[in-house]
Amino acid sequence: MNDMRNRRPFITVALWAVSGCLLFLAGTLLREHAVAVRSVRADALPLVTEIPQLERRARVLAEQRELAELSDALRIGSPEERMRVYALPTEPDLDKTVSALDVLFRSLRASARLSSFSPVTFGNVEDAGGGLRRTPVRTTLGIHEEGLDALIAFIQLCGSLSIADALTDSERLQLLRLTEMESPTAIVALEQYLNADLLSYIEEPRSADAQLLRSFSSQSFERSLRDILRTSALPTMRRAVSPAMAQTLRSSKIWPMQMMQIDALTLDAGGAPGWYKASVELGLYTRQ
Amino acid sequence: MALSRADAGTIIHGILYRYGKPLALFSAVFSGALIISRILVLPMLTAVEVQGEMRDIPSLQSQAEVLRGEVTALEGRRNEDVLPLSGTPYRSLVDAKIGEIHPMDFLRSVRATAHAATPDHGGAIVITSMTYGDGEAAISGDVSGVGLSSMTVLAQFLEALRTDERVVRVTPPAFTRLQDPRIGPHSPFTITLHFR
């Protein structure tokens, strides 16, 4: 009896310690229950709606991929070959570059947007990184503001081969997403549209647009396409290249042109409003 | 009658001993019930039906993650099929060219900013030249016709240029006021704007 009485304090401490541990465990489990129930609303319900959408999208993308691969196999002429031969050859084609600039300058002079230009000079070939080389092309122009817009659009056109090259990455992705949502099988029509020759499109855009739109039944795609085309670089390019100029570029075998970019442009106010003395340095790009 | 310290200790110990057992029993039953609920009841409560199948949250999360990865990979491959030459130096050049700031559009917006910065003194800020290239543009010009406020007007113009979303950094000009017998006080400037 006395022994029992002596062990009482230890039993009391042990009982309270065990109770404390068990209550702590119960508290943790209760918290876990509350978190789990709350996460049903916060995580599970959005996932329940997201998963079927993702599965549907994966099916559509797989189907589009198959169609695009099939269309790719049937395509005549490889875009890579055009790029290698025309846009980024291994040697700079100086004659062709001078001819292209001459066509532009003649067109600008004819429309009274260019008053004078200095001889076009070429610098030494230099490494541009990423497996590319750059040849500086320099000239000085007495040019009107509208002529400068045309010059910039023309340089954007140099090295661009297809409609896709005149659209920004986000514009192209927007078209692909719209196709995915509106008419997944129209991916073939979109592929043909994006890879269509840029100069032909600038000359006559309606037939290519109509051919693409035939694959879509909804008006919303047409509206979105028109919006994308309106805000893209295509209208500026179309204004810069007159039908006669396009004809000359094609007949003189200047198109497709070699890749050029404006690397430096210095504008000094000219003698009359809207006129500038422009020193232009272009980069003419080739592959290594 | 006051209790001695030893008596008080004995009473408290007696209370703790007496309540110790029921408390331990309650804690054990409560924790046991919660463990059973955690193992058996909670998964049933939190499972959701997806396409006729009961799924718990971790499996839904992992499935969604796998599907997101699959969609991204498929989208990338689809885009490569539709847009040949993706990821090549050619595509990088074309994208850089089409995405770069149009020098004339930029000059026009700088002129509009200059006009908006001085609504009461139209033509106070004149842009005389611009050098564009290497991700920056150096704008040169002069502020005149505003008397001794030419430097204030130049500071206003500079602040307005800083708000342009395309510009990440502005190198301010040397603020100076010169006296010209023909045009009066004027502040020539060259501001360098660095693009994003």
> What is the per-residue pLDDT across B98-153, written as a single tens digit (0 to 9) for each?
888 999 999 999 999 998 888 777 789 999 999 999 899 999 999 998 888 889 99
CB atoms within 10 A of CB A124: 7
Cβ atoms of A260 and A99 closer than 8 Å: no
Q: Are residues B185 and B118 part of one domain?
A: yes
Question: Could you tell me the two tokens for A228?
Answer: 């994308």
Phi, psi of B187 (to 5 degrees): -125, 100
B191 and B108 both lie in a single domain: yes
Give the pLDDT of residue B58.
84
CB B67 within 8 A of CB A53: no
Containing structural domain, residue B19? 5-66
Mean local confidence (pLDDT), A9-21: 89
Cβ neighbours around B100 below 10 Å, total: 15
- Residues B108, B188, single domain; the answer is yes
> Does B186 share its domain with B113?
yes
B112 located within any domain? yes
Q: Is the pLDDT of residue A57 over 70?
A: yes
Q: Is residue B3 scored above 70 in pLDDT? A: no
- Residue A52 and residue B51: Cβ atoms within 8 Å? yes
User: Would an 8 Å CB–CB cutoff place B12 in contact with chain A?
Assistant: no
The answer to whether residue B147 sits within a structural domain is yes
- Are A159 and B71 inside 8 Å of each other by CB? no
pLDDT for the residue numbered A78: 81
Q: Are the CB atoms for B150 and A286 separated by under 8 Å?
A: no
Place of tokens 């039908």: A243
C-alpha A232/C-alpha B147 separation (Å) is 44
For residues B117 and B153, give the distance between their C-alpha atoms in angstroms, rounded to a whole number: 8
Q: What is the pTM (predicted TM-score) of this model?
A: 0.77
Mean pLDDT computed over B173-182: 91
Instruction: Inform me whether the pLDDT recorded for B2 exceeds 70.
Output: no
Q: Say yes or no: B112 contacts chain A, CB-CB below 8 A.
A: no
Domain boundary among B16, B50, B66: B66
**Candidates B46, B85, B89; nearest CB to A80:** B85
Residues B59 and B125 in one domain: no
With respect to residue B32, please indicate whether it lies within any of the assigned structural domains. Answer: yes
Counting every residue written for chain A, the total comes to 288
Of the three residues B66, B94, B118, the one that is the final residue of a domain is B66
Is position B56 within any domain?
yes
pLDDT average, residue stretch B154-167 = 92
User: Largest alpha-carbon pair distance within chain A?
Assistant: 123
Alpha-carbon B25 to chain mean position: 55
* CA–CA dist A149, B102 (Å, integer): 9
Among the CATH numbers 3.30.2310.20, 3.30.390.10, 3.30.465.10, 3.30.70.60, which is that of A89-154+242-287?
3.30.70.60
Picking from B66, B85, B112, the residue at the C-terminal end of a domain is B66
Q: What is the tally of structural domains in chain B?
A: 2
Of B79, B84, B103, the CB nearest to A80: B84
Cα-based distances in Å from A235 to A114, A150, A202, A265, B195: 21, 11, 8, 23, 25
Contacts of B63 in chain A (CB under 8 A): 51
Q: Are the beta carbons of A267 and B107 separated by less than 8 Å?
A: yes
Contact residues on chain A for B107, CB-CB shorter than 8 A: 267
Q: Above 80 in pLDDT, residue A261?
A: yes
Residue of A14, A3, A270, A15 whose CA lies nearest to A143: A270
What are the structural domain ranges in chain A?
1-62, 89-154+242-287, 168-232
- State how far the Cα of B179 lies from the Cα of B148, in Å rounded to an integer: 10
